[in-house]
Amino acid sequence: MSKHSNQHMTTDEFRKQGKKVIDWIADYYDQIEQYPVLSQVKPGEIRSNLPESAPLKGREYGDILSDMDKMMPGITHWQSPNFHAFFPCATSGPAILGDLISTGLGIQGMIWATSPACTEVETHVLDWLVDMMDLPKKFKSTASGGGVLQDTASSSSLVALIAARERTSHGDTNLNGSNRQLTVYTSQQAHSSIEKAVKIAGMGKNNLRLVNVDSTFAMDPKHLKELIENDLAQGLIPTFVCATVGTTSSTAMDPLKEIGNICTEYGIWLHVDAAMAGPAALCPEFRFINDGLNFADSYTFNPHKWMLTNFDCSVFYVANRKVLIDSLSILPEYLKNKDTDSKTVIDYRDWGIPLGRRFRALKLWHVINYYGVEGLQVFIRGHVENTQKLKSWIEADERFEIVAPVPLNLICFRHQNGNEFNENLVNSLNESGKIYLTHTKLNGQYIIRFSVGQAGTSLDHLKKSWDYILETVKEMEKD
């Protein structure tokens, strides 16, 4: 029986096709190592295989599922155990199912009343995480602060910056042209999202100070203090410091205590970005990353990076929720309701940029309950242990140099043969499809980054990758 274009999918058809899709995903994971990790297509190649215009008549679902065959060559396989580029973006079975339920329910959590469970489960699991990771209690909803899920750390940091800007300018940004004088500080190694946030917030790139780093690529607090003093001397208003726990280039750890003391002294908002590294605090032995976090006004880390929860899921904590809400709250008539009026509920629309909100907490609920605290610890600990083993192999080969500390799960290293050789090595490895690595520059040198964090990555995978790197180097040394 042919489908009519004007019909919705029946629940019977949904059951049938949905189960096919579940199998399709399971098959994908069973075969994931057979794909080249980095997509090998040329620009425009995927598009050239798609029909020029949309179909007038609806198509059978089975045919639409088959369209994936045209798209798969254009997929870079982030979930492959041989994906070691950028930072991990690890997902898991329970996360996928939690998100599927959220998609199926199709609800909106913009305000409490539009689905109380969406708000309350979110508040609840974010309070859980404060305990699970031994974060400052002020971040709990039962204290002065609270947590909220954002899409990405870029949005979390932007929201933190807006709150700091409004706190400093007393909600009067612009009225006196005061934002012209507000200055922002972050290290030269901080994520690009900070510069982008400064731009979006209209604070001007000329008011962004990039603080020097020390030999471990961590922020130099003395230089921070100098920059602040210098700005004060010029009549500017130091407003926001973003410290990073685990920089993108090399997982450098900015010294939160020293930075925090400076922020306290000058009354500056301290935001801490631990986008990737944050989940390490699930393990007591890695809680050094929390040292000094008690100074933070806001904190962000991404369960979608290294905590088995599919993208997008960025946790954002604030120590004083009132400041955040005052910065972002707008209440039009069509959103007024008795629960909001009662002030007994949280309306998360005032905690971020979008009005509409998915039931994102459900996937986090699934992950935490499926693995349990101990299961998550095993996962994090395993990655760190395996990374340290890989580090020892690299160290044992005197042609290679490890160029930055390896506190957790990222190794920055280079072959002695110079920038061009290392760049060619990375390109050659990526073109092989066997592994995907990306690079950075540290002290002007081209550096290879090896990031460990996908759900399926075992020690055996790392061993094979290292062997393959050595094999490729051997070939290149011959030339």
Q: Among 120, 214, 397, 401, which residue interacts with its own copies (rule: CB under 8 A)?
A: 120
322 forms part of the interface with its own copies (CB under 8 A)? no
Q: What DSSP line would sit under 341-364, residue for residue?
A: HHT-S--GGGGSS-S----THHHH
Q: Using CA atoms, how far apart are residues 176 and 209, in angstroms rounded to an integer? A: 23
Pairing relationship of beta strands 182-187 and 269-273 according to DSSP bridges: unpaired
Structure tokens at 25: 């995903």
Q: How far is the CB of 291 from its own copies (least distance, A)?
A: 23
Q: Among 143, 236, 283, 373, which residue interacts with its own copies (rule: CB under 8 A)?
A: 373
Q: Phi, psi (5° rounding) for residue 166? A: -70, -35
Q: Among 1, 2, 34, 54, which residue interacts with its own copies (rule: CB under 8 A)?
A: 54
Q: Among 132, 283, 402, 459, which residue interacts with its own copies (rule: CB under 8 A)?
A: 132
409 forms part of the interface with its own copies (CB under 8 A)? no
281 forms part of the interface with its own copies (CB under 8 A)? no
231 forms part of the interface with its own copies (CB under 8 A)? no
Q: What's the one-letter identity of residue 183?
A: T
Q: Among 94, 146, 255, 279, which residue interacts with its own copies (rule: CB under 8 A)?
A: 94
Q: Among 1, 2, 8, 284, which residue interacts with its own copies (rule: CB under 8 A)?
A: 8
62 forms part of the interface with its own copies (CB under 8 A)? no
Q: Which is nearer to its own copies, 82 or 258 (CB)?
A: 82
Site for its own copies in 179-218 (CB under 8 A): 179-180, 191-193, 195-196, 199-207
Half-sphere exposure of 416 (CA within 13 A, CB side): 7
121 forms part of the interface with its own copies (CB under 8 A)? yes
Q: Using CA atoms, how far apart are residues 118 and 108, in angstroms rounded to an integer? A: 8
Asked if omega into 312 is within 30° of 0 (cis), the reply is yes
Q: What DSSP line would sit under 196-259, residue for residue?
A: HHHHHTT--GGGEEEE-B-TTS-B-HHHHHHHHHHHHHTT-EEEEEEEEBS-TTT--B--HHHH
Q: Among 69, 284, 332, 398, which residue interacts with its own copies (rule: CB under 8 A)?
A: 332
Binding region for its own copies (CB under 8 A) out of 177-185, 227-235, 253-261, 389-397: 177-185
Q: How far is the CB of 295 from its own copies (least distance, A)?
A: 26
Q: How far is the CB of 283 from its own copies (least distance, A)?
A: 13
Q: Using CA atoms, how far apart are residues 54 and 31, in angstroms rounded to an integer? A: 31
1 forms part of the interface with its own copies (CB under 8 A)? no
The residue count of the chain comes to 479
**CB of 255 closer than 8 Å to CB of 292:** yes
353 forms part of the interface with its own copies (CB under 8 A)? yes
Binding region for its own copies (CB under 8 A) out of 25-33, 223-231, 259-267, 462-470: 25-33
Q: Which is nearer to its own copies, 167 or 225 (CB)?
A: 167
232 forms part of the interface with its own copies (CB under 8 A)? no
Q: How far is the CB of 108 from its own copies (least distance, A)?
A: 6
355 forms part of the interface with its own copies (CB under 8 A)? yes
Q: What DSSP line would sit under 91-112, residue for residue?
A: --HHHHHHHHHHHHHT---SSG
403 forms part of the interface with its own copies (CB under 8 A)? no
Q: Look up residue 287 and give its DSSP letter.
A: G
Q: How far is the CB of 55 from its own copies (least distance, A)?
A: 5
Residue closest to 184 by CA, chosen among 172, 170, 196, 171: 196
